Structure 1
Amino acid sequence: MRTIKLLGLLLMLLPISIFAQSTVSGTVVDDIGMPVPGVNIAVKNTTKGTTTDFDGNYSIVLESGETLAFSYVGYRTQEVTFDGNTTTIDISLVEDAQSLNEVVVVGYGDQTVKSISGSVASVTEKDFNKGNIVTSESLIQGRVPGLSVTKGGGPGSGSEIRIRGGSSLFANNSPLIVLDGLPLDNNQADGTRSVLSSINPNDIESFSVLKDASAAAIYGIRGSNGVIIINTKKGRGKLSVNLDVQQNVTTIDNTIDVLNAGQFRNLVRENFPDRLAELGNANTNWQDEIYRNAKSSDINLSARGALFGEIPARLSLNRSDQQGLRRTSKFDRTTASLSLNPRLFEDHLKIGLNANYSNEDNRFADGVEGSAIAFDPTQPVRSHGSPYGGFFEFQDNDSSAASNVPRNPVAQLLQTNNVSNADRFFGNLNLDYKFHFLPELRLVTNLGYDRTESGGSFSRPKESALGVNAEQGEFIGNESRYSNKRTNTSADAYLVYENKLGDFGIKATAGYSYQKFENEQFTTNELLDPNAQEPRTTIADDVVLIGYFGRINLDYKEKYFINGSLRRDGVSKFAPENRFEYFPSVSGAWQISEEDFLKDSSVISNLKVRAGWGKLGQQDVPSTSDYLRRYQTGLSNQQYRFGSPITPFQPLYTNPNISWEILTEINLGVDFAFFNDRFSGSVDVFQRTADDLLSPAPVADGANFSNQGFQNIGQFDTKGIEVNLDYNILRQDDLNWNVNYNFTAIDREITRLAFGQDILAGGIAGGTGNNIQVLREGTWPNSFFTYAQLYDQAGQPIEGAYADINGDGIVNEEDRYISGNGQADVLMGFQSNLTYKNFDFNFNLRASFGNEIYNNVNSSRAQLGNLDLVSPNNLPTQVLETGFARTPDVILSDFYLEDASFLRMDNITLGYTLRDFDRSSTSLRFWMGLQNAFVITNYSGVDPELGIGGIDNTIYPRGRTFLLGVNYNF
């Protein structure tokens, strides 16, 4: 009995707190649901703590009320208070977007923001543009300084993408696009809208834009125009499903100002009264007739989770139906994608499998704006008894379709069936193996495949006026078919060694790259024309690119960084002796904010200076087969016997020395942030020299089989400054407001052409063989080359009167001068993101300054003489102001050169989100939006941004889009 009492007393003396203690365990995973070893777990205000094991598991003894803090490099620190009841606490780490340890994907690997020394911009999903995003490049339009994206007007149409203005005179100026490690071919398949049109924007997680040579040199021969790396969304361990549905209507925003039927009749009566009887009784607005309100829809369904509870996976489906503003134009896309990301052998082997399928269904609408502008507004769309399917057409006395007159644009749209269908399969397999015997060393292999099989047909019925066979005088219509197979395969293998040696860090990469492009085309030509060529299949020469590359990243105390790379590239396009070239780069950075005198600053939270130099190549050049001896069918007096047949042929220009275009660039930059990253930004200045540019040059008589051809002889320089500013104006629990502003200023100058000679460019409508632009040493590429218009005392232009620029008393070609350029020298972007409780409001603006546009619509059509053609043509209303008759060289006047500066509101969206109405991870967002809301500009035409190379000669307009959408997450 005494023993029992003694034991009871001892138990009473034990600290009561023992009974309040519990063992808590759990697992820590990353944002894709994979275990994270080595996570630091501390009990706040105590000395207790632990770390996660290799499988992300942990166990710790806690008292009720104690708080656990989970911290890991590159992720936000998370705190959880133990309530005394729960015995399991699982944590999913969230990346810290503001951290200098955020990882950015670069060529063949990744780097932390802190270690980057080149000019690299990263745009993630949270910063993407909102709205009717059909092609992926629209997600970052206006978001990155130095990057311009000019979107076409057609449904699903591609964009002109330029990084720092491009680097070539006559070769490709588009950047290299790398999708999940697979470099894409910039040449699209026949019957498709663009290279990116078959990629579902909803599958994209981030973009990395490598702008300067030191960042892009790892891509060697394809990096001279910059690189855009696209990363798609991957699987996660926790199941989540997203459904996104949007509907939109696009209306025509602006059209060409032309005479209405009454004005047209009056002008004909005043100038050519004898032709008044040819006019009709209708009042037709032909531009209204060719356009429609375009209805479109987009549906995305995606699911993330873990197959069999272990393999992170993501599946997505998309259906996009896009009508175009032009009647009959449409773009329909169906996509499916699957991503698997298992990790094997105790996390030593990471596997990434991405498989994508896309079907693109198109109906293309002919560019009938020219006919709609010129067609007689007094004529009806349809005419009873017309042999042309009931449509009105101008006819000769024998009732056949008249020649040299505009065709009925509505009939052209409705009677033309230009359709295509394209199947595309693309994806990659990435294997990342960390050696067991040396964990610091990894072997990475990436296998990529991209194949498009497309086909289409073009037909018109025999009732179409465009289908008349003039030679036989009978209606035969049109019919032709084509198909195209394009294949892009790639294989990369490289070793990565990464280690910390005391205060020194090293990351070294060395590897091999192989890529092959294949292209097979088939066309029937015109099936209804007995004189047409026979159907034929064309198999282009395979283009093979191989490269050997190495890169080393060194740092000391994570404050001083040196990065260098070297790539040796070869391509089959050039002669064997010219196929290989070396492309080096070197860059460095100093993280000043890590120095002792700034490390604890409450004002400066980040300050880094960067400098880089690199050399890049351009292999996507014109006439690369010029290094081979080539022949074509010649005249009857140019004959050669190949065996028994005698074949007429002639040799073509050949240049065995054709080789790379080379770009060399210097970049200086500074990154900064103040007040705990509340205000941050970067500034970059750069100078780049594009050398050995292919340009047409004269050839001495008798030295070749042509008097001119492409040679590596041109050069131009580009200088610029880029600024990016980000400001979190408000950061509160219920109210957050972030704005971003970017600014780019560029100056370009041609410094060398063959023999210093001008090269005319920029062909225009009106007359024969006229050019409005020139390449000239000391000026911007493709500068406008015009006469200086003279004006009367009232300020009205005098037709055919131009300034004698050189003062020789004669006005001729020698008096044309450089009057502007079609490329902006200043670009700006502004984005605003505001959230208040469950509401969100976003908009983004873009501005362009310093560029001109040549109004070829007015210059070739706003002349009274066009009323006296075979059929009286309608005119732009500008003719009422100028009264121009028809002087041949009027189209070369700077009167038609207009300021194309603009401010455009691209997107406005307003949304409301219902949260936690079912379970904590569920949300339902309703939103509405307006795309292409307004444009402020002095340009008198349809759109100051859509002129091709700065020349506006009727375009596919962009409309204003009204959007409604709903997004459901669970």
Structure 2
Amino acid sequence: MELANVFNKENYLYNKKQYPYGPDEYDGKWSPLFSETDRLNPRNTNWKDYVLKSGYITKHNLTISGGTSKVRYYLGGSYLDQEGTVLNSGMTKYTFRGNIGVELFPFLNLTSAFNANQNIYSNCMVGTDTGNRGDVAGSALTSALLYPPYLPLTQDDGSYTIFRSIPNPKAMEDIADKTKENGYNLNFTANLKLYKDILSIKGIYGMNQENMRRSIFIPSDVYFSRMYKSRGNIQSERRLTQTLEAMLTFSKYMFNTVQVDALAGIGKYLESYEGYGISYEDVHDAINEHDISSAKGKFYPTSHTGKNEKRSQFFKASFDILDKYVLTATLRRDGTDKFFPGNKYALFPSVSGAWKISNENFLKNISWINLLKLRASWGKTGQDNLGSSLYGSYAPNNFKVNFSDNGIINIPYVSMGANYPDVSWQKTTMKNIGLDFYLLSDRISGSFDFFRNDITRLLGYASTSPLAIYETRPINGGHYYRRGWELMVDTKNLVGEFTWDTSLTFSKTNSFWKERLPNYDYQIYQQRENEPMSAYYYYNVTGIINTDRSNMPESQKTLQAEAQLPGCPIIEDKNKDGKIDENDVYMKDNSPAIYVGIGNTFTYKRFEFSFFMYGQFGIQKYNIAYSAAQAGPLAVDYPENSNKFAYRLWNSQTNPNGSRPGLAIGKMGALPGNAWVNADRENASFMRMRNITLAYNLAGNILGSLQRYVRNIKVYVDAQNPFILTKFQGFDPEIYTGGGGASGGSRGEYPQTRTFSLGVNITF
């Protein structure tokens, strides 16, 4: 309340152009939002307590496997019940899977695998908003962060309080949002030996059926999206994918020199889908989705259907010469029904080679080198998923045309899209060079890879001419590339009764634009060549203009008057030319400098202890926690909730040395080139403890009479995400932070949960 009064007065001074925001002295007419009594006896409603809670996970698995020399089988089932940590969040999963392999004849093997599942989700409202409608249709967590503590949960009549058209966090508990998914996956493989173990034919058929139904209902007494109205939506989706492949394989060791493996095959890949949805309004709360025909309001039905098909012919050959040199070549011819006939098919070749240096005579006698292999590869792949049809389409118009005294009714059709026969495959060229090594009797092993992938002929959209029927059209254009490296090292530090194994991973990846899509509108300050795809452009802040503006540099005076007021950020004159313009914009490649992963496993007798950590370094992010601690929302007549970072905001009354820009930053307008300042960005480097596990194994005589039926019992405790090491002051530097720019992100993103588990694995 104190800060709300402070910034409300700042806003009064700003609007009246009174000191320090103008030449006039304070007129003494401002009235506090909150009285002394309000401040001394504050209500402190903790809205997050209505949204967040403790959750739990229950998981059970059962597997059975066995067989004979002719028949092998595996069956497994699992059950998962999870109660989430946000209101109305949870899921229940049932899974049944298995496979069976049969040697029907010495020359014929049959294999089948299946997986069936059913998932039931209770969907909570966490994240940004619904339908891009902002905070008025925001999530429960967003509302809990916005709602001020001075408001009670309910009003005098028992209804939930409403704050600035934002839904009440607790009221969202009454919103029903359920999803049911089920599906099954079947795979059948037949392998027929034509000639010994040299020549064979393999056939594969696979299918995957997915079904989904989601129902949302908002009761009439829940204020959401600026209205009290019962409304709901039901959606249903079905998707079927099928894979059919046939291939001829050849394998033979020839001339006592070379192992040759080759295959040639064809494939057909089918996808079909359909769905419908209906939105409805004004139905009795007790009836909701169970009889939507009783709804008195409008109905909004939708439906869709579609099919996709791909076909492939492929050939692969591999030659292992003298167990030293390996050469592999692949050629695919892929076709898709999405493109016009002249562009349906494309060739995608690849080639790779490896040199087992450790098998050369000059290294054979070096005992501490077990394997040293150098490898390299080059290849191409394609992408056809543009997200829309390239064929012209038509749809019925909503208006009917009547003739002959309404005896004849014509329904006109309108064009929904044109033909685009010039669009074809997006292509990726991949290059890789690597080294594998096993040293000191395999006590040290690992690999190093360096890669570059060039993505060309990007599938995208470009603006059309002003008089064209359609504003945009699909195209091929642009070129970007990814490059990076990865080092993986595994070590057996201690062996024997007490063992200690370590796994280390280090990697770095960057992406750069070589060529933008046609008609891309560059800003003056943007880098034209090899621009990082994660480039962040900003004006550097060196301080905050003080009350008497004595610290404001001359260059700041070249900006608009609103950017020269106390509390505004002082912008660095990068090129020292005495003015602030696009030439003063900085660019930072905001991809991490390095990714790190560290895992350790210790065993002693029956005990096992392991942990895994990972992290990233050299990255900055906007601190979303600051978005809930801005001067503007505190200055209005109905201020929203804030947090401890608001005490860092500059103001002329109580904090003239504040470290964050004050009220004036929200009123100073755009800067040259529409770049923004780097205020409220922080070092987001972190190291997270992903999991810690302690286990004890019961086996052998310790089981007593149980060992007749039980092979092993493993009891374990596990902690997921127990802690994180970081200087980032937001609640989680790893979470998605939204749309970039100056603010970049929503306040409703949810951090990774901390989970503690107790479990038992029993092997019969």
CA deviation map 1:458-503 (0-9, x unaligned): 112211112774xxxxx43122211111111111111110011121
Show the counterpart of 2:558.
none
Inter-partner Cα distance in structure 2 for 1:789 and 1:705: 46
Inter-partner Cα distance in structure 2 for 1:961 and 1:946: 17
Inter-partner Cα distance in structure 1 for 2:191 and 2:757: 42
Output the amino acid matched with 1:523.
G
Do the aligned partners of 1:415 and 1:461 also contact (CA within 8 Å) in 2?
Answer: yes
Decide which of 234, 242, 245 is 1:481's aligned counterpart: 234
Output the amino acid matched with 2:503.
N
Show the counterpart of 2:403.
none
| 2:89 equivalent to 1:296 | no
Decide which of 336, 339, 358 is 1:593's aligned counterpart: 358
Inter-partner Cα distance in structure 2 for 1:466 and 1:826: 43
Show the counterpart of 2:509.
746
Decide which of 365, 368, 383 is 1:603's aligned counterpart: 368
Inter-partner Cα distance in structure 2 for 1:677 and 1:800: 58
Inter-partner Cα distance in structure 2 for 1:742 and 1:590: 24
Decide which of 523, 531, 535 is 1:779's aligned counterpart: 531
| 2:327 equivalent to 1:562 | yes
Do the aligned partners of 1:609 and 1:670 also contact (CA within 8 Å) in 2?
Answer: yes
Sequence identity (%): 26
Show the counterpart of 2:429.
664
Show the counterpart of 1:583.
348
CA RMSD of aligned residues (A): 3.2
Larger RCO (CA under 8 A, 6+ residues apart): 1
| 2:746 equivalent to 1:957 | no
Note closer, same or farther for the CA distance 1:362–1:776 as it changes in structure 2 (3 Å cut): farther
Inter-partner Cα distance in structure 1 for 2:105 and 2:491: 45
Note closer, same or farther for the CA distance 1:507–1:717 as it changes in structure 2 (3 Å cut): same
Q: Which moved more, 1:281-290 or 1:814-823?
A: 814-823
Decide which of 737, 740, 746 is 2:500's aligned counterpart: 737
Do the aligned partners of 2:57 and 2:81 also contact (CA within 8 Å) in 1?
Answer: yes
Do the aligned partners of 1:821 and 1:852 also contact (CA within 8 Å) in 2?
Answer: no
Show the counterpart of 1:881.
648
Inter-partner Cα distance in structure 1 for 2:580 and 2:624: 22
Mapping 1:507-526, distance limit 5 Å = 507-526=261-280
| 2:707 equivalent to 1:919 | yes
Inter-partner Cα distance in structure 2 for 1:658 and 1:735: 62
Output the amino acid matched with 2:188.
L
Output the amino acid matched with 2:244.
A
Note closer, same or farther for the CA distance 1:537–1:749 as it changes in structure 2 (3 Å cut): closer
Inter-partner Cα distance in structure 2 for 1:266 and 1:700: 52
CA deviation map 1:72-98 (0-9, x unaligned): xxxxxxxxxxxxxxxxxxxxxxxxxxx
CA deviation map 1:326-350 (0-9, x unaligned): 111001101111211121212x222
Decide which of 315, 318, 326 is 1:550's aligned counterpart: 315
Do the aligned partners of 2:8 and 2:637 also contact (CA within 8 Å) in 1?
Answer: no
- Once the two structures are TM-superposed, the CA of residue 705 in structure 1 deviates from its matched residue by 2.8
Instruction: Give the paired residue count.
Output: 666
Show the counterpart of 2:251.
498
- Once the two structures are TM-superposed, the CA of residue 441 in structure 1 deviates from its matched residue by 0.8
Note closer, same or farther for the CA distance 1:818–1:523 as it changes in structure 2 (3 Å cut): farther
Inter-partner Cα distance in structure 1 for 2:719 and 2:683: 26
- Once the two structures are TM-superposed, the CA of residue 281 in structure 1 deviates from its matched residue by 4.7
Show the counterpart of 2:595.
827
Q: Secondary structure at the match of 1:952?
A: coil
Structure 2: gaps spanning 5 or more residues? 12-29, 127-139, 283-294, 401-407, 553-565, 651-661
Mapping 1:85-104, distance limit 5 Å = none
- Once the two structures are TM-superposed, the CA of residue 300 in structure 1 deviates from its matched residue by 0.6
CA deviation map 1:698-736 (0-9, x unaligned): 43444x43454442111112222111111111121x221
Show the counterpart of 2:610.
842
Output the amino acid matched with 1:875.
S
Q: Secondary structure at the match of 1:871?
A: coil
Decide which of 526, 535, 540 is 1:788's aligned counterpart: 540
Mapping 1:358-757, distance limit 5 Å = 358-367=117-126, 368-386=140-158, 388=159, 391-394=160-163, 404-412=164-172, 414-435=173-194, 437-466=195-224, 469=227, 475-501=228-254, 502-528=256-282, 532-539=298-305, 541-623=306-388, 625-628=389-392, 644-645=409-410, 647=412, 649=414, 652=417, 655-702=420-467, 704-732=468-496, 734-754=497-517, 757=520
- Once the two structures are TM-superposed, the CA of residue 823 in structure 1 deviates from its matched residue by 3.2
Do the aligned partners of 2:438 and 2:445 also contact (CA within 8 Å) in 1?
Answer: yes
Note closer, same or farther for the CA distance 1:965–1:913 as it changes in structure 2 (3 Å cut): same
Show the counterpart of 1:45.
none
Q: Secondary structure at the match of 2:452?
A: strand
Output the amino acid matched with 1:964.
L
Show the counterpart of 2:15.
none
CA deviation map 1:540-579 (0-9, x unaligned): x201111100100011122111100000001112222211
| 2:75 equivalent to 1:315 | yes
- Once the two structures are TM-superposed, the CA of residue 774 in structure 1 deviates from its matched residue by 8.2
Do the aligned partners of 1:630 and 1:653 also contact (CA within 8 Å) in 2?
Answer: no
Show the counterpart of 2:48.
287
| 2:146 equivalent to 1:351 | no
Mapping 1:79-90, distance limit 5 Å = none
Q: Secondary structure at the match of 1:411?
A: helix
Show the counterpart of 2:129.
none
Q: Secondary structure at the match of 1:878?
A: helix
Q: Secondary structure at the match of 1:291?
A: coil
TM-score (norm 1): 0.64
TM-score (norm 2): 0.80
- Once the two structures are TM-superposed, the CA of residue 380 in structure 1 deviates from its matched residue by 2.2
Do the aligned partners of 1:311 and 1:340 also contact (CA within 8 Å) in 2?
Answer: yes
Note closer, same or farther for the CA distance 1:819–1:627 as it changes in structure 2 (3 Å cut): farther
Inter-partner Cα distance in structure 2 for 1:562 and 1:604: 23
Structure 1: gaps spanning 5 or more residues? 1-260, 395-403, 470-474, 637-642, 761-772
